[in-house]
């Protein structure tokens, strides 16, 4: 299914784990340092940067 919804100021975040676009509508105030969760694979992602509508994330290692 190709359906590009860009509700959060046009920001797009591709999950580094499953390569699917993460639903950012759950995070209306997305900013660097926030932790989000991929709605496809459930991976926890740390937001590194939100510049130019491209949300850069890093997989958070939850192994404690």
Q: How far is the CB of 19 from Zn ion (least distance, A)?
A: 7
Site for Zn ion, residues 7 to 46, rule: CB under 5 A: 15, 17-18, 38, 40-41, 43
Residues near Zn ion (CB under 5 A), total: 7
| Rounded Cα distance, 10 and 12, in Å | 6
Cβ atoms of residues 54 and 8 within 8 Å: no
> How distant is the alpha carbon of residue 28 from its chain centre?
12
Q: How far is the CB of 18 from Zn ion (least distance, A)?
A: 3
**Helix (H/G/I), strand (E/B), else coil: 35:** strand
CB of 52 to Zn ion, least distance (A): 22
């Amino acid at each position: 299914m190709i359906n590009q919804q860009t509700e959060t100021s046009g920001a797009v975040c591709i999950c580094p784990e499953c390569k699917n676009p993460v639903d950012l509508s759950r995070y209306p105030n997305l900013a660097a340092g926030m932790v989000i969760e991929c709605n496809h694979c459930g991976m926890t992602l740390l937001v590194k940067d939100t510049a130019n509508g491209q949300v850069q994330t890093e997989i958070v290692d939850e192994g404690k």
